[in-house]
Amino acid sequence: MEVKIVTGVPIYTMNDDTQVVEAVAIVNGVIDYVGAFNDARSRYSMGEIIKLKKGIVIPGFIDSSIKIYDFSMMFKDADLTGISEKDEVLDIIAKISEKKKETDWIIAGGLSRELDGRITREDIDSVAKYHPVVLYFDDFNSAVVNTKVLEISGIDENRRDPDRGRIERDGRGSITGVLRSRAVELLIKEAGTPDSRVVTKALRRGIDRLISLGITTIGEATFDLPPSVMKILMSLWGSGELKIRIGKMFGPTELEFIKKVGMVSGYGDDFFRLGGVGLILDGGLSTLSGYMKRPYLTSGGNGVLLYSEDEIYRILRDSYSSHIWALLAAVGDMANRIAIDQFERIARDRSLPRLKRRIDGAEVLSDDDVKRFSDFDIIAVLNPGFIPRDRNIAIKSLGETAGNMFRFNSLKKNGVQIAFASNTPEVSPDPFYNIYCAVERKAFDEGPEMRFYPREKIEIQDAILAYTAGGSVACGMDDIVGKIEVGRRADLVQLSHDIFKIENEDLKNVKVLKTMVDGELVFTGNE
């Protein structure tokens, strides 16, 4: 029997908002005692005492919607996080290129925004002229590439900026190699699918990156994930090498197979289990394709609904009758109204099992629909990092309706279960950035005038609950993680600062010092 006692700093259980204890006793990866240190020491006299020296401990973060393959492939060849010197980055790329065939793509992620504008395509050409090279910045919304990538992707001096994207040019009009927003999509399709060995290595690196951010559980929301990638994840799970817990969501085309083999939501174990079937109901706000009640001021269109209401209900009923819960991803206010309507039909059908109901995004909501979330016990999975991303287009295209966006506080006041998600790689998975966006309604280092409808901000403890206990409910893991309480798995994170007591602006300085999964140390940072 392996026994550990974690103590030395305040431990926030998130079992009752900000309940604080002195010690947690862990027996074989499971929390066995929560309370005073002296009691823990007397009960577990042979236990290893892990005495921490600074910061606080909270439950591991839970990101309720991540595309793990897409995220991991951004770090396929290197993780550049924390490197601030251009020469060091170029030296890493040079060494990688020496081991690659000229046709192999070199892809690295985490490039510091401090280097934005300081690394150009000519710089990368100087160390890797013949390899296609893509370096993603740590905002996950821009990249710098070399000349070879521009040639392969058909991006030349005559190429116009794509809608809601930008191809950066210098003062002479020459392309610098930096691509912004939707311009990055111009090159993604050219990279192809690497072999299983490369994908396995990338997935390991991507998972390690998430763990270094204190994320111990994810909702994997890549609908119709390629079978080859799914096989690798299953292999890591089967061999006991999976370091992060995964609640796997899947698309409607996979539903028939899952039903046929008799799997239901919750199938699996504490590290990998089946979540629910997901449907994307409309487009996004950035492309003016979120389905709205009123036309966009800039386009005159209402967006697009990807399924008819009857199709949505048919899939939902098929899913719930097979004991598989569902999530509906909706952006526009009309798409959300339709999503709630169909969940209402499911909730009122007494022949169906009582399973969780989840709406992802929920970006634009009327007052009536905010209340209906609680009426029909619908979980709202929200994306705080989208606030600064979608703010300007919302003001321009929605007018006064923009005030109905990202209604975090309204949902909380109505007793709705909320959970947070980054939707990585759309925005950074950094929990502290996303928490800041939720409590300040703006991005790091923006002035107070940039706050987007601050009446919808929430308090720090509510944001942490959404990233822990709320996430466990949304991912179907609420019986094992999300809180520090007896009987749950010991997924713990030591933070450098007490985030419940610091100023919100200091969230950008918070670091993860240690991450534990099942009571085992899986990441150690610099104290």
- DSSP assignment of 33-78, as one string? EEE-HHHHHHHTTTSEEEE--SSEEEEPEEEEEE-HHHHHHTTSSE
Q: Decide if pLDDT at 44 tops 70.
A: yes
pLDDT of 156 reads: 85
pLDDT of amino acid 513: 98
- Contact criterion met (CB below 8 Å) for 488 and 481: yes
With a cut of 80, say whether residue 18 has pLDDT above it: no
- Mean pLDDT over 232-258 rounds to 94
Angle, alpha carbons 275-280-285 (nearest 5°): 130
What CATH topology corresponds to 77-188? Diaminopimelate Epimerase; Chain A, domain 1 (3.10.310)
Strands 3-12 and 245-250 come out as unpaired
The closest alpha carbon to 413, from 367, 449, 376, 346, belongs to: 367
pLDDT reported for residue 190: 62
pLDDT band at 181 (very low <50, low <70, confident <90, very high): confident
Average pLDDT over residues 286-301: 93
pLDDT of residue 201: 92
Superfamily of domain 200-480: Metal-dependent hydrolases (3.20.20.140)
CATH topology of domain 1-59+482-527: Urease, subunit C; domain 1 (2.30.40)
| Distance (Å, whole) CA 457 – CA 384 | 10
pLDDT, position 194 = 75
Per-residue pLDDT band for 265 (boundaries 50, 70, 90) equals: very high
Q: How many CB atoms lie within 10 A of CB 46?
A: 6
**More confident call, 190 vs 23:** 23
Secondary structure tally for the chain: helices H, strands E: 17, 22
Q: Give yes or no for residue 489 having a pLDDT over 90.
A: yes
Average pLDDT over residues 142-162: 89
Through-space distance between the first and last CA atoms of the chain, rounded to whole angstroms? 30
In the prediction, which pLDDT does 470 show?
Answer: 97
Amino acid identity of residue 129, one-letter, is: K
The domains of the chain are located at: 1-59+482-527, 77-188, 200-480
Average pLDDT over residues 261-271: 95
> Each residue of 195-226: pLDDT tens digit?
889 899 999 999 999 999 999 999 999 987 88
> Can you give the pLDDT at residue 17?
61
Please give the mean pLDDT across all residues of the chain.
Answer: 94
Q: What is the bridge-based pairing of β-strands 215-220 and 175-181? A: unpaired
- Cα separation, 373 vs 411, in Å, equals 8
Q: Does the pLDDT value for residue 16 go beyond 90?
A: no
In the predicted model, is pLDDT for residue 290 greater than 70?
A: yes
Q: Which pLDDT belongs to residue 191?
A: 64
Q: Reply yes or no on whether the pLDDT at 55 is more than 90.
A: yes
User: What local confidence, expressed as pLDDT, does residue 189 receive?
Assistant: 60
- Assess whether pLDDT exceeds 80 at residue 383: yes
Query: What mean pLDDT is predicted for residues 502-525?
Result: 97
Question: What mean pLDDT comes out for the span 359-375?
Answer: 97
CB 372 within 8 A of CB 340: yes
CB 427 within 8 Å of CB 372: no
